[in-house]
Structure 1
Amino acid sequence: MIRKFIIGACLFLSVVSFAQDGTSSPYSFYGIGEAKFNGTLESRSMGGISISKDSTHVNLLNPAGLADLKWTNFTIGGSSNHATLKSNDASAKTNRTTLDYITLGIPLGKFGAAFGLMPLSSVGYRINDINTNGTQNSRSYNGWGGVNKVFLGFGYKVNSNFNVGVKANYNFGQIKTNSVEFAPNIQNGTLESNAATLSGINYDVGMMYNTKINEKLTFFSSLYYTPESNLRSNNTRNVSTINNTSQTVDNLDESKTTTDLKLPQKIAFGAGIGDSKKWLFGAEVAIQAVGELTNSYNSKSNVEYGKRQKYSIGGYYTPDSGSYVSYGKRITFRGGFKYEKTGLIINSTSINDVGVTLGIGLPITASLSNFNLGIEYGKKGTTSANLIQENYLNLNLSFSLNDKWFVRSKFR
């Protein structure tokens, strides 16, 4: 009963949390917003690599890793984002705290399964372009919402070296935007409000292979692929006249349309070497094709979309995971580096994201559960070409709780 209550309460909390603004980036204006999920905290702390198989942690990027679960795993993770937004002549600070994922992983012999909830993308921006010289229009833009996904994944251990897996995702959410424009010497302005309700299904498939190089060294590899899919977008548009206190003066007719947004295919490959109980070092490359994610309210002539490319290196080190006398030797240290071309091109300038990551895994005494902390420090965008640079610091936190569930007691 307690377990059911905990899971139900966390799922309720996740729905509430994911409904809030998960970003404050002006670049979330484009497409379906800023991509939010980059793996569990353990993966993010290693630059985003997901090449290792683990019996006590859920791999949410490659479903093949689920086959190695030996314990029922309940994982919940969140983050606090602190960013400074800079242009050539101004700067501002923003803060956001969000719940990033919640999942339950279950071992099933040669199979492993997991289900849960996580964000796919997030929209959250407020942009003002106020002209005081009386010769140009003043504009302001505001957007919020995003897309979440509920997933169910399965992994299967073909043999001791090779796993395969598949994950089904139901994507859903709503994005709302307001744009206001006032012309010089005209009393009233124009307000355009848009709401897009999105839904769709897509799949991930993956495989993982490892083999012994020698007695102490193992080669690890990972490959996962997401085929192209569609998001159905039901759009509502309202245009009205407002005065300078934002009160409505007149409403035009409401219009409704339906469009299909294309989620592009994605493939990721990683490889590394190490001793799974002590250390690992690896690299991963992820490439996503060009999508068609522009809706009527966020199409701009100065914007293009290219391939999204992410390059990650990282690893972990645990001095002695089996130590019974030293707590410090059972602590896991993680680190990594990432470089990402987001695929967004504005004013002929590619928007890139570069960051370093650090993390630490603290075991909970007398259990296989652990408490994880992570830091991401990086830069997204640039101040050149009249754009905005984001200098960000993400503080990440997660709990990974492991226990033997669904075991019939021998004594009553």
Structure 2
Amino acid sequence: MIKRFIVGICLLFTAVVFSQQNSSSPYSYYGIGDVKFKGTTENRSMGGLGIIPDSVHVNLQNPASYSSLLLTTFTVGGSTTSTTLKTDSAESDASRTTLDFLAVGVPVSKKIGVAIGLMPYSAVGYRIENTSVVDDIERYSQFNGEGGLNRVFAGVSYKVTPSLSLGADVQYNFGTIETKSINAIPSIPIQYPTREINTTDYKGVSFNIGAMYQTKLNEKYDWFTSATYTPSANLSSETDRQLATITYSNGLNELIVDEIDVRVSSGDVKLPSKFTVGSGLGIKTKWFAGLEYTFQESNELGNRFDNVTSANFETSHKVSLGGYFTPKFQSYNSYLSRITYRAGLRYEKTGLVINDESINDYGLSFGVGLPLNYYASNLNLGVELGQRGTTSASLVQENYVNFFVSLSLNDRWFVKRKYD
């Protein structure tokens, strides 16, 4: 019964993940959009920490963790985001509800584990309007964008020794991003506004390798160390660009008056390399606290529109501090004692620089893991309060609240029947 339920959920969410628009940030205008967090609700509730080789949760951040699974684990998660966009002179609200990940991890043997899944890789979703005066002439511009990239992955992990595990993922990235810009001079009614639409298809393969080490300190405490490395990769892209003059009917409906040009271009887009290392201490079934650091090379992606020159990229840095506490995970008379309580802090220098201002991201997160009475399965809930960007230099500050939820369902699959 549980397997049929899992298959049904997989079919439902596979269709959703490829069609959702999961960003409302003006910063998704740059590069290939907002790069989404690669991890589960459990990790996200601890500030994004991905150090622990869990036996009942799939750790999507480090493929070396798959060999630690004791049961076949299916996990699916989603989130809803409420954001307040603020400038020096205005404020508005936006919200999005999205699927974040879908994965299955399988322990093949005592030393080998595998996992497959899919998740959004990046998201584009913005609408920007600007009115300026140049040489005493008022000019109006509008920019719209939607789409993003998705990622399908498959990985394997091998337990070299009881303490050391190694793993690797292969990832196929694909998706479409459509951007539209409109430029007009309202004071000259005989001059039609111009419109440019770029539709870009991306696809390409990337890799991720990882290692995990765990040992005992003073025969009581568990010490974990984790490292992952993602080499740089190239995505092929093909862009269909349409240029046209337009007019408006009743001020609302856009009508194409004359198509100026249609072009198709292709090229490669480079994804920068990334390195993550972390370490932590605790008693695995009781509590854990850890620190993780991520370094990413400068993003070489440019702007989508040639007339935007105020943005560039720098190296990215992220620091996560978090952990969990479970009062008594085997308690038979107190459900509250079996709940896992999680918390974390996160600081990220995103690597995007606009008007000489670095765009930074801060987050504070909390969460709980609620046990379900079936093979250590659980329902995970979390909330994150954060801020990205600044109102300085005519930029946008995003104050956001993320609510996220996931299911981690564990069962014994592929067991040979003794009786037919």
Instruction: Indicate the TM-score class for this superposition, using the shorter chain for normalisation.
Output: over 0.9
The Cα of 1:17 is off from its aligned counterpart by: 3.4
Counterpart position of 1:141:
143
CA distance in structure 2 between the partners assigned to 1:66 and 1:2 by the alignment: 21
The Cα of 1:9 is off from its aligned counterpart by: 4.5
Counterpart position of 1:190:
194
The Cα of 1:172 is off from its aligned counterpart by: 0.2
Q: Is residue 349 from structure 1 mapped to residue 353 from structure 2 by the alignment?
A: no
Match for 2:266 among 249, 258, 261? Answer: 258
Counterpart position of 1:36:
36
Counterpart position of 2:121:
120
CA distance in structure 1 between the partners assigned to 2:321 and 2:63 by the alignment: 20
What letter matches 1:65 in structure 2? S
Q: Is the Cα–Cα contact under 8 Å of residues 38 and 44 in structure 1 kept in the other structure?
A: no
Counterpart position of 2:319:
311
What letter matches 1:77 in structure 2? G
CA distance in structure 1 between the partners assigned to 2:36 and 2:94 by the alignment: 17
The Cα of 1:220 is off from its aligned counterpart by: 0.6
Match for 1:214 among 215, 218, 227? Answer: 218
Structure 1 residues 59-107: Cα deviation after superposition (integer angstroms, max 9, x where no partner): 1010000110110000000000000000000010001000000001101
CA distance in structure 2 between the partners assigned to 1:7 and 1:383 by the alignment: 46
The Cα of 1:18 is off from its aligned counterpart by: 3.4
CA distance in structure 1 between the partners assigned to 2:16 and 2:286 by the alignment: 38
CA distance in structure 2 between the partners assigned to 1:221 and 1:320 by the alignment: 25
Aligned residues: 412
Q: Is residue 338 from structure 1 mapped to residue 338 from structure 2 by the alignment?
A: no
Q: How does 1:215-364 map to 2 (within 5 A)?
A: 215-245=219-249, 246-294=254-302, 296-297=304-305, 300-364=308-372
CA distance in structure 2 between the partners assigned to 1:167 and 1:244 by the alignment: 50
Match for 2:378 among 350, 370, 385? Answer: 370
What letter matches 1:311 in structure 2? V
Q: Is the Cα–Cα contact under 8 Å of residues 303 and 311 in structure 2 kept in the other structure?
A: no
SS of the aligned residue for 2:305 comes to helix
Counterpart position of 1:407:
415
CA distance in structure 1 between the partners assigned to 2:219 and 2:318 by the alignment: 33
Counterpart position of 1:23:
23
Q: Is the Cα–Cα contact under 8 Å of residues 107 and 113 in structure 2 kept in the other structure?
A: yes
Q: Is residue 150 from structure 1 mapped to residue 162 from structure 2 by the alignment?
A: no
SS of the aligned residue for 1:254 comes to strand
CA distance in structure 2 between the partners assigned to 1:299 and 1:317 by the alignment: 51
**Higher mean displacement: 16-25 or 400-409:** 16-25
What letter matches 2:130 in structure 1? D
Structure 1 residues 108-131: Cα deviation after superposition (integer angstroms, max 9, x where no partner): 111111101101100000111146
Q: Is the Cα–Cα contact under 8 Å of residues 18 and 98 in structure 1 kept in the other structure?
A: no
The Cα of 1:2 is off from its aligned counterpart by: 6.7
SS of the aligned residue for 1:79 comes to strand
Counterpart position of 2:10:
10
Q: TM-score, normalised by structure 2?
A: 0.95
What letter matches 1:334 in structure 2? R
Structure 1 residues 350-387: Cα deviation after superposition (integer angstroms, max 9, x where no partner): 00000100000000024310000000101000000000
Structure 1 residues 235-283: Cα deviation after superposition (integer angstroms, max 9, x where no partner): 1100000013321110012101001111000000000000111110000
Structure 1 residues 150-170: Cα deviation after superposition (integer angstroms, max 9, x where no partner): 000111111111100000000
CA distance in structure 1 between the partners assigned to 2:274 and 2:287 by the alignment: 28
Counterpart position of 1:89:
89
SS of the aligned residue for 2:76 comes to strand
Counterpart position of 2:170:
168
What letter matches 2:256 in structure 1? T
The Cα of 1:11 is off from its aligned counterpart by: 3.8
The Cα of 1:292 is off from its aligned counterpart by: 1.8
The Cα of 1:13 is off from its aligned counterpart by: 2.4
CA distance in structure 2 between the partners assigned to 1:384 and 1:296 by the alignment: 23
Unaligned runs of 5+ in 2: none
What letter matches 1:330 in structure 2? R
Q: Is residue 388 from structure 1 mapped to residue 388 from structure 2 by the alignment?
A: no
Q: Is the Cα–Cα contact under 8 Å of residues 49 and 284 in structure 1 kept in the other structure?
A: yes
Q: Is the Cα–Cα contact under 8 Å of residues 11 and 102 in structure 1 kept in the other structure?
A: no
How large is the RMSD of aligned CA atoms in angstroms?
1.6
Q: Which runs of 4+ in 1 moved over 6 A?
A: none
SS of the aligned residue for 2:104 comes to strand
Q: Is the Cα–Cα contact under 8 Å of residues 118 and 149 in structure 1 kept in the other structure?
A: yes
